[in-house]
Chain A
Amino acid sequence: MAEVVLRHVSKSFGKTQVIYDMDLVVADGEFVVIVGPSGCGKSTVLRMIAGLEPVTGGVIEIGGRVVNDVEPKDRNIAMVFQNYALYPHMSVRENMAYGLRIRGMPKAEIAEHVARAAKILELEGLLDRKPRELSGGQRQRVAMGRAIVRDPAAFLFDEPLSNLDAKLRVQMRLEIQKLSRELGTTSLYVTHDQVEAMTLAHRMVVMNAGRVEQIGAPLDVYLRPASAFVAAFIGVPPMNLLAGRVGEGAFTLGNGLVVRLPAGAPRPPFGAEAILGVRPEHLAPVGEAEAALTLTVETIERLGADTLAHGTFDGNPMVVRLPAEATLQPGTRLALGLVPDEIHWFDPQTQKRLDLPGG
C-alpha cells in the first residue's frame, strides 16, 4: 500500500499538450476516481502513473519513490483495462498466475495467491476455463483477480465497467466498492460515468480538456461545483445553466426574459454578467405570484420515482425534477420558484464558481 503523488505533471504528444500542470495526492488506502468526458486526458493520467506513457513534465511518486523512469513492472501497481486484456490462450488460473510466474514466485505460493484471489472474487469454479468461455462480468472479475494476486501498492482501473451492460455495471460497481473496502488498497479509477464516480469515490477528480476542474468528495463536488463545467457534468440530469446580466432583484437573460431572484439569495453585483445555475431538483412549482420563472413543458420523462419535465427558457434547455405523481403534459406552463440557498453563480469569462455572500 502506498501514497500516489502527482506534482506539476504535464504531458504532450508531439506539439499537442494533453495534460496541463496536474497536482494530485492520493492518500494511502484512498479510492480516487478521475472523471471527465472523452478526450479530457483522464486515461493518459492513469497510463502515466502505470508507466505506459512517459511523463513530459513534473514528477510522479508511488510510495514515496519517484517513478518517472521506473518500468511499469517495477512500480508495484496493477492495472485493470477496459477490454479486460486477458491472455486469450491462457486459462483463468494461468492468467492470474502469469505475473507471479514471471517474478519467479515458487509454485506453491502462486497457487495459494491465486486461490485466495479466486475465493474473494468467487471465481473458484472457473479457474480452468479460457476467457472466451466466460461472460463479460466474469472476465472483468478475472481481470481484477489478476490485479489482486499481485498484492500491489496501488490499483489502477481504466474504465473497467464500460464494456458491461447496464445491469451488470451496477452489480460490479457494488462489488468493486465492497472489494476496495475489504482490501483497503490505494486505488485510482478512471471513468466517464459520473454515477460510478459519485458512488465509488472517496474523492473525485473532475477533468476537462487536460486540466483539473475540481478535486473533492463526491457530495462536495455535487453541492458546490467549482465551475460551470463541473456543474453541467456531475448530476443527472445536469444543472440548468442560464447566462445573463444581474439586475435589481432579477436576472435578465440574453433574449430579454427575466428570472426573478428570491429575496436573500446571494447574487453578483448589479450590472455584472454571470451564469446562474440551478439543479433540476431545486426548482419547485409555486404560485404565479412568487414564480422566479415560467417554463413551458415540451417533453416529459416519467422515471417512476420521479418525473422530469423538459422545456426551453429564453432559448436555454431546462429540466425540472418533479414528484412522480405530478400531473402535466406537453404545453403545460410551470411556474417555478428558486430556493435562495440552492443558487449557484459562475463567472462567464473564467467559468469559475463565484462565491457570494447572501444579500
Chain B
Amino acid sequence: MVEKRPALSAAAYAILALGVAIVALPVYVTFVASTQTLDQILEVPMSLVPGTELLANYTAALTSGSERAASAPVGRMMVVSLVVALTVSFGKIVISLLSAFAIVYFRFPLRMFFFWMIFVTLMLPVEVRILPTYEVIADLHLLNTYAGLTVPLIASATATFLFRQFFMTIPDELAEAARIDGASPMRFFWDVVVPLSRTNMAALFVILFIYGWNQYLWPLLITTEESMYTVVIGIRRMIAGGDAATEWNIVMATAMLAMLPPALVVLLMQRWFVKGLVETEK
C-alpha cells in the first residue's frame, strides 16, 4: 500500500488481530486444557490460565495414553503417524517424479492416453474408490500393516501433474546438451532433473506430509489393532466413552502433540521455500 493513513492502518491491524484471535484462541484453549487436571477442565467456566499439570499430562499421554479409554500410548501413535506421513510423502514424490519424467521426456505408444488416465484420476478422491481399495488391501492381507496404510495413498495425479508442468519449463536444449554430453536418460534424470526439482519437491513435501499426517478415513477403515492407530484416529478413540468417561486433559495433550509435527515441517521447510523461490532460475 502506498497510502499512509493512521486510521486505515489501525483498521487493518484490528482485522488482522481478529483473524489471528479466531485461529489462535481454540489452540490456546486446547493448550490450557492440556495443562490442567480433569476436574479443573470440567469446572464451569473453564479457567483460561494454564494449570500446573503440563508435564504430568504430556508424560501420561506419551507413555500410556488415555487409560480410561484403554488407548495405546500416544508415543506409539506418533511413530505410526510419522511413518505413514513420511512414506506417503516420499513415495508420492518418487512415483510422481518418475511418471512425470516418463510422460515428458519419452515418446512411447499411448503416451497421451496414460497421461489423460492419470489426469482423470485427479477427479476421483480416495473416498470414491475406498470400498474396492479396501477389498484389495484386505485380500492382500495388508490390514493393520504399514503397507496397507500407505500404498493406496501413494499414487498421486496431482503431484505427477505438477512435476509434468515443471519439467515442461526445463528447456529442451538442456536434455539435448546432456544427450550430446553422453548422459543416459536416467543419468540426466539424476544429474539434472532431480536437482532442478528440489524446490518443487520441498514444497510438495510440506503439502504431502500434512496430507499424510491428517489422513483419517483410510486409517480408520483398515486398522483394527491399537498398535497401528495413527494419532488422528487415536484422538477419536479416546473420546469414545461420553463426556464423563473422557480424560479431556490427556485428549488435549494428545491434540497438541498431534499438531506439532505438521507445524514443525511447515516452519522448517519454509526456509527452503523462500530460498528456492529466490534462487530458482533456468
Contacts and interface: CB of A to CB of B under 8 A. Distances in A.
- A50, A77, A83, A98: residue with the most chain B Cβ atoms closer than 10 Å: A98
Interface string A56-93: 00000000000000011100011101110111110000
Interface in B165-213: 171, 173-174, 176-183, 187, 191-192, 195-196
A52 B183 CA distance: 13
B182 A102 contact: yes
Nearest to B195: A89
Given A85-B171, A88-B281, A72 B191 contact: no
B176 A85 contact: yes
Given A99-B182, A132-B281, A81 B177 contact: yes
A88 B282 contact: yes
A81 B173 contact: yes
Contact of B182 (A50, A103, A132): A103
Majority SS at the chain B contact face: helix
A132 B282 CA distance: 8
Nearest to B170: A88
Contacts of B191: 87, 98
B179 A52 contact: yes
Contacts, number: 59
Contact of A89 (B173, B182, B196): B196
A141 to B, nearest CB: 15
A83 B191 CA distance: 20
- A79, A82, A85: residue with the most chain B Cβ atoms closer than 10 Å: A85
A85 B179 contact: no
A334 B166 CA distance: 60
Contacts of A83: 171, 173
B79 to A, nearest CB: 35
Contacts of B180: 50-52, 72-73, 77-79, 99
Given A98-B191, A102-B187, A132-B281, A85 B182 contact: no
B174 A73 contact: no
Contacts of A86: 177
A51 B176 CA distance: 10
Given A79-B176, A89-B196, A102 B181 contact: yes
B199 to A, nearest CB: 11
A217 B195 CA distance: 46
Contacts of B182: 73, 99, 102-103
B118 to A, nearest CB: 26
- A71, A72, A103, A146: residue with the most chain B Cβ atoms closer than 10 Å: A72
B211 to A, nearest CB: 28
Nearest to B279: A132
A344 B281 CA distance: 51
Nearest to A94: B191
Nearest to B175: A85
B183 A102 contact: yes
A85 B177 contact: yes
Contacts of B187: 102
B181 A81 contact: no
A81 B187 CA distance: 21
A73 B181 contact: yes
A81 B183 CA distance: 17
Contacts of A52: 176, 179-180
Interface in A247-265: none
A86 B195 CA distance: 14
Contacts of B174: 85, 87
A146 B176 CA distance: 13
B176 A81 contact: yes
Contacts of A51: 179-180
Contacts of B173: 81-83, 85
Interface of B: 171, 173-174, 176-183, 187, 191-192, 195-196, 281-282
Kindly list the 5 A-B residue pairs having the minimum CB-CB distance in the complex, ordered from nearest.
A99-B181, A73-B182, A85-B173, A85-B177, A81-B173
Given A82-B173, A89-B192, 18 more contacts: A50-B176, A52-B176, A73-B181, A81-B173, A81-B176, A83-B173, A85-B176, A85-B177, A87-B174, A98-B178, A98-B181, A99-B180, A99-B181, A99-B182, A102-B181, A102-B183, A102-B187, A146-B181
19 contacts: A51-B180, A52-B176, A71-B179, A73-B180, A73-B181, A77-B180, A79-B180, A81-B173, A81-B176, A83-B171, A87-B174, A87-B177, A88-B281, A89-B196, A99-B180, A102-B187, A132-B281, A146-B177, A146-B181
